[in-house]
Structure 1
Amino acid sequence: MQNTDNTPEQKEEIPRTTSGFLIFLFKKIIEKRKYWLLLVWCLLAALGLVLFLTGNGALLPAIYMAF
């Protein structure tokens, strides 16, 4: 049986700022060797950037149809 007690040295503090959380997430992806998550991260950032730059919501119906 495994010890499930959370001692202070086992628990890692998650940052409360956006930039701190993104850095924490990036470090965890590298540490756990889940490199495919970096691709998902980049695709979501690119989609958000495109939606932000269009501004008028012209792409929203196309995104709705995609899902």
Structure 2
Amino acid sequence: MNHPIVEEKILKELTEVLAESRGGDCNRWTEEAVDFEEAEKLVYLKAALAETLRLYPSVPEDFK
């Protein structure tokens, strides 16, 4: 992992959101995928994913 602080912040944010919406039992957190309401609260994760895709685009640019 190149950025352990970023990973720590993402895990903290995910833990807080899932604990709020699904309760404190972390075994229940993986029973279902993250829903839209939960995903909207994952601001730092969305920013990290956007930055990753900016640096490493999934589709190469076409320089014609």
TM-score (norm: length of structure 2): 0.35
**Which structure carries more relative contact order (alpha carbon 8 Å, separation 6+)?**
2
Larger Rg: 1
